[in-house]
Chain A
């Protein structure tokens, strides 16, 4: 099946009612559910992410697209499970201890979900133990978020606290840089929600 343009556009523009009705129609017509997801919906989220990276889409546009995506996933999820569809990876994300900012973290979580990952959202103000629990719960990638220059140093404590836990650790947030990621020994860094998806894929060997 090729991309369904109407569904692609509906996700891209955040038209959640349109997404629901198109997905329902496609399912009723017997379209392969994995194809609906992979050929139309995920590419739409990737496109909104690229527009965000290019400063052509903003937080509201990302959020309504993610909400529309979720409306489609609500219908597809049970069907995907029946069909034995597996997420492309399991990741956990949380804003570090002392930091209560969640807009950036939420955007990254939505983009990861939209790209086919299973996402454990750990919330804000997360200490080392919370990330450890996520690793014990099967997370293959741990994503640390911080908005404040004062909470950023806690990322180093998390990396030290997790040691050789087997999971890859990615960091991001307004004050964070690639240099800082290198300095504290993170496995990767992203400067926005879109590149976070690419970094997570690279960390798991799903992309180069």
Chain B
């Protein structure tokens, strides 16, 4: 089964063999190919190059074509401030400067950066679209209304309710046109990204946002598309009203408790996704932090209708190795088991687990850390390789298999400093991790380890 199918199954609420994996590669794609956010977000060629690079590095099941919530606003006349490491920011608000809705230009695919994003989408569809679900991202109606009206929208929600509702309804029509453009050019999923809804109450969400959003989601469904709602920011209080919209899927930011979201989505028959911490874990943390966080999210989210994703658009310079650590956990069952044991180790000092006397023993000691060689194929092959090499070596060898399914095995893993499964340690040193060495290499390594023992022996 392709990764794309796993993602589409997950979004349809089905059980999946592993979590679907959707890294939100926005301007981070520019970082991957040494380009600024501005260069990257204005070039179809660079978008394709960056996303293909992300595909090869992170092995994702889905990718957003362009993570930039200013595409529609730019066409509608908002000025943008461009930067090297973030998407552009809106600096002027046409409807706060005397313009009326009827003065704003029509949205169509020939305008603004739509030619860039649709060209990239078509190429990606052809090149990686068979096994990658491509997301068309549109700016949600409330955030777009804020782009057009400026911060006054918050006070206008009290002072001029009807005006705000008119603008949001207009924005929903813009969203529908954007969705049509993405669907026409081959997008598999339309994500309506509406981060500013994190700043309003559930009552305001239902009054101002729900009708407009449902209008967009129903339209996408009529056109045969799949829809998702992305809200970056803390939407804890709005989760329930979000799950009651007609979107197929809900993706949330790092502040959300995934167990709670899972309950709400199960009640509404929706799939959901999220929510790896962007700054503390992905940007500033290391691979172990990324793995622990991912495992925790997977445990809370279960295996039905769940898509693993960062909380929001990835920061420009997220270390590649951290996202690769997440990818490894998604794709490699054994990496998941190893991470689980890392998790367990935090609660245990393993004082009672003692290492053999490697120096004093009159044999080479091989400790093989496995998940369990009777049930894990790579572990089984590694154990066989070790046994054959022990027979072939011209020295005495003791072999111990430590299965991390039991506490003693985890203790040995921790004390020997083993990070991957399976791993062969020779005289207490992790020597071969994950990859099974060929027979000659392993025999030589064993015989080399015996030399000091021979020279100091009685």
Q: Does B57 contact A (CB under 8 A)?
A: no
Q: Given A58-B200, A60-B204, answer yes or no on A149-B279 (Cβ-Cβ < 8 Å).
A: yes
Q: Which residue of A lies closest to B201 (CB)?
A: A58
The answer to whether A60 and B158 have CB atoms under 8 Å apart is yes
The answer to whether B280 and A177 have CB atoms under 8 Å apart is yes
The answer to whether A59 and B199 have CB atoms under 8 Å apart is yes
The answer to whether A106 and B151 have CB atoms under 8 Å apart is yes
Candidates A57, A64, A106; contact of B158 at CB < 8 Å: A64
The answer to whether A100 and B81 have CB atoms under 8 Å apart is yes
Shortest CB-to-CB span from B287 to chain A, Å, is 19
The answer to whether B201 and A150 have CB atoms under 8 Å apart is no
Q: Does B283 contact A (CB under 8 A)?
A: yes
The answer to whether A150 and B154 have CB atoms under 8 Å apart is no
A57: chain B residues at CB < 8 Å are 201
Q: Given A14-B158, A64-B158, answer yes or no on A149-B315 (Cβ-Cβ < 8 Å).
A: yes
The answer to whether B315 and A60 have CB atoms under 8 Å apart is no
Shortest CB-to-CB span from B411 to chain A, Å, is 30
Stretch in B10-18, B85-93, B214-222 with 4+ CB within 8 Å of A: B85-93
Shortest CB-to-CB span from A184 to chain B, Å, is 13
Q: Given A55-B236, A58-B200, A60-B204, answer yes or no on A175-B151 (Cβ-Cβ < 8 Å).
A: no
Candidates B157, B158, B204, B315; contact of A150 at CB < 8 Å: B315
Segment 171-207 of B: residues with Cβ below 8 Å from A: 199-201, 204
Candidates B83, B155, B316; contact of A63 at CB < 8 Å: B155
B237: chain A residues at CB < 8 Å are 55
The answer to whether A100 and B154 have CB atoms under 8 Å apart is no
Q: Does B437 contact A (CB under 8 A)?
A: no
Candidates A55, A98, A149; contact of B283 at CB < 8 Å: A149
A151: chain B residues at CB < 8 Å are 86
B154: chain A residues at CB < 8 Å are 59-60, 63
Shortest CB-to-CB span from A105 to chain B, Å, is 11
What count of chain B residues pass the 8 Å CB interface test?
26
Q: Which residue of B lies closest to A177 (CB)?
A: B280
Q: Which residue of A lies closest to B280 (CB)?
A: A177
Q: Which residue of A lies closest to B237 (CB)?
A: A55
A179: chain B residues at CB < 8 Å are 280
State A142–B328 Cα separation when bound (angstroms).
44
Chain A interface, >50% SS class:
loop
Q: Given A55-B236, A58-B204, A59-B199, answer yes or no on A103-B89 (Cβ-Cβ < 8 Å).
A: no
Shortest CB-to-CB span from A82 to chain B, Å, is 31
The answer to whether B83 and A64 have CB atoms under 8 Å apart is no
Segment 226-256 of B: residues with Cβ below 8 Å from A: 233-234, 236-237
State A59–B200 Cα separation when bound (angstroms).
6
State A149–B201 Cα separation when bound (angstroms).
26
The answer to whether A150 and B155 have CB atoms under 8 Å apart is no
A63: chain B residues at CB < 8 Å are 154-155
Shortest CB-to-CB span from B312 to chain A, Å, is 10
Segment 62-90 of B: residues with Cβ below 8 Å from A: 81, 83, 85-86, 89
A150: chain B residues at CB < 8 Å are 83, 85-86, 315-317
State A14–B157 Cα separation when bound (angstroms).
12
B326: chain A residues at CB < 8 Å are none
State A102–B90 Cα separation when bound (angstroms).
12
Shortest CB-to-CB span from A179 to chain B, Å, is 8
The answer to whether B151 and A100 have CB atoms under 8 Å apart is no
B298: chain A residues at CB < 8 Å are none
Q: Enumerate chain A interface residues (CB-CB to B < 8 A).
A: 14, 55, 57-61, 63-64, 67, 98, 100-103, 106, 148-151, 174-175, 177, 179
What are 14 contact pairs spanning A and B, CB under 8 A? A58-B199, A58-B204, A59-B154, A59-B199, A63-B154, A98-B83, A100-B81, A148-B86, A149-B283, A149-B315, A150-B315, A150-B317, A177-B279, A179-B280
Q: Enumerate chain B interface residues (CB-CB to A < 8 A).
A: 81, 83, 85-86, 89, 91, 151, 154-155, 157-158, 199-201, 204, 233-234, 236-237, 278-280, 283, 315-317
Closest 7 CB pairs of A and B: A59-B199, A60-B154, A150-B85, A149-B315, A175-B279, A100-B89, A58-B201
